[in-house]
Amino acid sequence: MSVFRIRLMHLKADIWWDMRTAQYMEFKKLNQYIIRLSEEVYDKEEAEMYAQWIQAYKRLIKAAYYFDMKEDHQAFKESFRLAEREYKDLRPAYERMDVDEWNEEEEEMPTEDDPFDKAEVSTMVFSVLFGVDGHDETLEISSENPLVKGRWLMERVQKLAWSRFGIKALNIELSVNMTVVNADDFLLVVLPDTRQAFRARCLGIDYQPYTEQYRQACKILQREVDDSFLETLKGQASGKLSLAGLALDSNDIQIVIHLLKRAPALSELDLSANLLRDADVLSIFAHVPLPARLWLHSNRLTSQCLDHLFMCELGQLQELGLAYNPLGPDTPRRMISMLATSPQLKHIAFDGGMISGSDQASLSELREKAAQAHVSLICNELPAM
């Protein structure tokens, strides 16, 4: 077998390896080697072999090609399996011929046919779509390396998603030439001297522990970490969150919203023993859904907070605690409106709410609602019900 054929087998094996490991600089060296190899074609058969190979190689490089490691990559692997085996068999003979292999230190031969001649100015841009906080957010990630592996993209997505949104991306799905591939296992080759855009969607997200979310919120909002707040968050079970007794006021609302947006779905939230006002309640639950059980005991809330809650989605709320707030005498009237549209409410606590019996009509109607929900009105100035 001619030296040319042995070199070609060697070349095929090397290119298969570099496609598998996505080493761009090695690809560029191999590209130069292919050009040099054309000088060793001595007969018609070798010329046809070289022409077929270079056509396939250029098509592979110049197309925005991708591999799904489980399917498309397998087909490419099969095409080189024979070349690798033949190369292994021919290598001893190749070495005995004392043929000088290409020296990468030699001066490269410039050529207009070089597929990678301008590849270093190529750019890939990935627009990755996330569902965050009930709406879509987009991250743009670019790479000037003309070879991009899916795992590299996934790592970049995870890093930016955490720094930008405080979430962990679990997986992404990429659309390439109208084909959807799993971004964890693919290789993309960008067209030389071009800017190519790809669309991707995050298939799942995971939220960090409450302590990490709190630190992230403080960093984003440029707030100092409160040790007592941090200590309260440690070890809290998923689905339940207690922020009671932290002296939270209007200045802390953005921290609370950040935590609640990035918490798993809550069944119970305790914001008791703080300094929250009516507008704070509206600010929080205009951004996050109400849990099944909400405790707001011992704050600075009036009956107006019921109107604010009424403006939110009440479908999940089953228990509401507003004890020991200065609610005021018109609480029964506002409470009746809430009960009329929220049949799922089963327990409401208005103990110590400064509720008087001045509105007898509302109190009478409230008695009729007693079968729907248990309403606790201990320690108020009311006639016996």
List the chain domain ranges: 3-90, 124-207, 210-378
Of the chain, the percentage scoring pLDDT greater than 90 comes to 15
Q: Where are the alpha helices (DSSP H) in 286-359?
A: 304-310, 331-341
Q: Which pLDDT score is estimated for 361?
A: 72
Q: Which pLDDT score is estimated for 62?
A: 42
Q: Which pLDDT score is estimated for 189?
A: 64
Distance CA 166, CA 44 (A): 63
Q: Which pLDDT score is estimated for 107?
A: 37
Q: Which pLDDT score is estimated for 295?
A: 96
Q: Which pLDDT score is estimated for 56?
A: 58
Q: Which CATH architecture has domain 210-378?
A: Alpha-Beta Horseshoe (3.80)
Q: Which pLDDT score is estimated for 384?
A: 59
Residue ranges in the chain whose pLDDT is less than 70: 1-43, 46, 50-122, 133-134, 146-147, 176-179, 182-194, 238, 357-359, 367, 369-371, 383-385
Distance CA 40, CA 355 (A): 99
**φ and ψ at residue 375, rounded to 5 degrees:** -115, 120
Fold of 124-207: Ubiquitin-like (UB roll) (3.10.20)
Query: Kindly report the CA angle at 37 between 35 and 39, in degrees rounded to 5?
Result: 95
Distance CA 158, CA 288 (A): 24
